Structure 1
Amino acid sequence: MIQAADIREWRDQDVVDPKGHKIGVLEAVYVDTATDEPAVATVRAGLPTRHRLVFVPLDETVLGPGYLKVAYARSRVKKAPSIGTDDVLPAEQEKEIFQYYGMAYRPGVHGERQLARR
């Protein structure tokens, strides 16, 4: 797992799947607002003229020299919920990301967001 103190170091590093296939480049990390631990990342993927930011959980992430290896296959990540490169994650789309990866979505007691960008 990426430690919160290391987040800025890993921006712009390659993100690869368990078999080493490149998915894209790490754009940003979202932390869980309840624990302040890194939870989800956006990966810049797509064609050079049509980039988008796809979401991938950071559970079981392995850090290597110049790359982050996530626990999900490239084909699955590329079909994940995404936003435009200049967009921000809408609150109503958070739950969709968690559902796509089969993870529990736990917003705050008063409906606060579960994810915050760092």
Structure 2
Amino acid sequence: MIRSADIREWRDHDVIDAKQHRIGMLEAVYVDTATDEPAMATVRTGLPTRQRLVFVPLDDAVLGPDYVKVPYSKGLVRKAPSIGTDDVLPAEREAEIFRHYGMAYQPGEGGERQLARR
């Protein structure tokens, strides 16, 4: 498991898929609010004048010397739900991200968010 303190050091490093295709640059890490463990990352993609942040799970992510490798294809990640580079993830869109990757969404007992940006 990647620790929160470790993954923050990889901000602005390349995010690549299992076939070594570059997806984009790591922008931020979101932790699971129940465990405080890294759960998702946002990846900066697009043209310099039209960038956006797409979400990718960090389960089974591997850290390299100058990259973070995720087990999801570049195509799948690029089609993931996204936000603008200056936007905040709305609570109602969290479930959409988990569905995109075929993952179960588990909000808190009181309806709390599952993800928090670190």
For the aligned pair, the TM-score class normalised by the smaller chain equals over 0.9
C-alpha distance after superposition, 1:72-98 (max 9, x if no partner): 000110000000000000000000000
List gaps (5 residues or longer) in structure 2.
Answer: none
Q: Could you say which residue in structure 2 is the equivalent of 1:109?
A: 109
Q: Could you say which residue in structure 2 is the equivalent of 1:56?
A: 56
CA distance in structure 2 between the aligned counterparts of 1:46 and 1:87, rounded to whole angstroms: 16
For the aligned residue pairs, the C-alpha RMSD in angstroms reads: 0.6
CA distance in structure 2 between the aligned counterparts of 1:13 and 1:117, rounded to whole angstroms: 18
Q: Could you say which residue in structure 2 is the equivalent of 1:5?
A: 5
Q: Figure out how many residues of one structure are paired with residues of the other and give that number.
A: 118
Q: Could you say which residue in structure 1 is the equivalent of 2:40?
A: 40
CA distance in structure 2 between the aligned counterparts of 1:8 and 1:35, rounded to whole angstroms: 17
1:96 aligns with 2:79: no
State the AA in 1 paired with 2:111.
G
Q: Offset of 1:4 from its aligned partner?
A: 1.1
C-alpha distance after superposition, 1:2-49 (max 9, x if no partner): 211112201101000000000000000000000000000000001111
Instruction: State the identity %.
Output: 76
CA distance in structure 2 between the aligned counterparts of 1:4 and 1:80, rounded to whole angstroms: 23
Q: TM-score scaled by structure 1?
A: 0.98
Q: TM-score scaled by structure 2?
A: 0.98
CA distance in structure 2 between the aligned counterparts of 1:32 and 1:104, rounded to whole angstroms: 13
